[in-house]
């Protein structure tokens, strides 16, 4: 009697298990379709800023990470602002040395519609240990984005055909002009270049 009950229970358990196994892929599919449709809706209605791959943050700073497909939005904006895009990393000594000059331009030329964006090429493992603490410690005011796209050959030439891939490197552009520099800048040099973008 007891045995029979147990075996009946086992059969039931197996049946339940089977059903739940069968159901899973179906629900998964529906979820997938939902996400796909939602994504398309987002694409259609919001052609503005792309969605970051990830946002890295600690208690005080947050940095949006993009692959090149996402980042290129920030390299091709067409409005009345002049954008100064600096490619850098916390471990790159000449980059860190010239960073205050970019910060100064960002502060001094805000009213002249100049915006500095610092694109960090720090590696994934350095974001929490180096990049976020650096931004906090140096009180970086310019917008910092992270480019996380390790297949560099696929995008270096798209940023500029003359770029060898060495950093620091800077792109200055507005709706009418575009210039790329694989070099370090003093404040005066940078100011002179920016003032040419009028």
Partner 1 sequence: MKKIQFLALFIMLGALASFTVNPPAGGYKVGDTATDFNLKNVDGKMVSLKDIKNAKGFIVVFTCNHCPYAQAYEDRIVALNNKYKALGYPVVAINPNNPEKEKADSFAKMQERAKEKKFSFPYLLDEGQKIFPQYGATKTPHVYVLQKTAKGNVVKYIGAIDDNYEDAKAVKQKYVENAVDALLKNKDVTVKETKAIGCSIKA
CB atoms within 10 A of CB 83: 20
Strand partners, 170: 86, 181
Q: Tokens 């090429």, residue?
A: 121
Q: How far is the CB of 124 from partner 1 (least distance, A)?
A: 6
CA distance 72 to 45: 19
160 binding partner 1? (CB under 8 A): no
* The one segment of 15-23, 30-38, 134-142, 151-159 that binds partner 1 by CB under 8 A: 151-159
Of 15, 41, 124, 177, the one binding partner 1 by CB under 8 A: 124
Of the candidates 133, 84, 129, 91, the one whose C-alpha atom is nearest the C-alpha of residue 110 is: 84
Nearest Cα neighbor of 86 from 70, 72, 98 is 98
CB atoms within 10 A of CB 126: 16
Part in contact with partner 1 (CB under 8 A); list of ranges 45-53, 56-64, 71-79, 121-129 = 121-129
Find the binding residues for partner 1 in span 53-112 (CB under 8 A).
89, 91-94
Q: Which of 53, 61, 96, 126 binds partner 1 (CB under 8 A)?
A: 126
In whole angstroms, the minimum distance from the beta carbon of 93 to partner 1 comes to 7
Interaction site with partner 1 (CB under 8 A): 89, 91-94, 121, 123-124, 126, 150-154, 156-157, 163-168, 182
């Amino acid at each position: 009697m007891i045995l029979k009950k147990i075996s009946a229970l086992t059969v039931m358990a197996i049946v339940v298990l089977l059903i739940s196994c069968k159901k899973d892929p179906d629900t998964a599919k529906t979820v997938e379709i939902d996400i796909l449709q939602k994504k398309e809706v987002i694409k259609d209605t919001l052609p503005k800023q792309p969605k970051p791959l990830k946002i890295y943050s600690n208690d005080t700073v947050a940095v949006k990470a993009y692959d090149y497909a996402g980042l290129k939005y920030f390299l091709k904006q067409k409005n009345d602002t002049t954008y100064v895009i600096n490619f850098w990393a916390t471990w790159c000594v000449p980059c860190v040395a010239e960073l205050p000059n970019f910060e100064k331009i960002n502060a001094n030329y805000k009213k002249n519609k100049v915006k500095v964006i610092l694109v960090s090429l720090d590696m994934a493992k350095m974001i929490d240990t180096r990049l976020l603490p650096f931004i906090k410690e140096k009180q970086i005011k310019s917008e910092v984005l992270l480019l996380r796209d390790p297949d560099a050959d696929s995008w270096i030439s798209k940023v500029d055909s003359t770029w060898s891939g060495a950093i620091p490197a800077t792109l200055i552009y507005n709706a009418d002009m575009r210039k790329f520099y694989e070099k370090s800048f003093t404040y005066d040099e940078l100011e002179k270049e920016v003032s040419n973008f009028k």
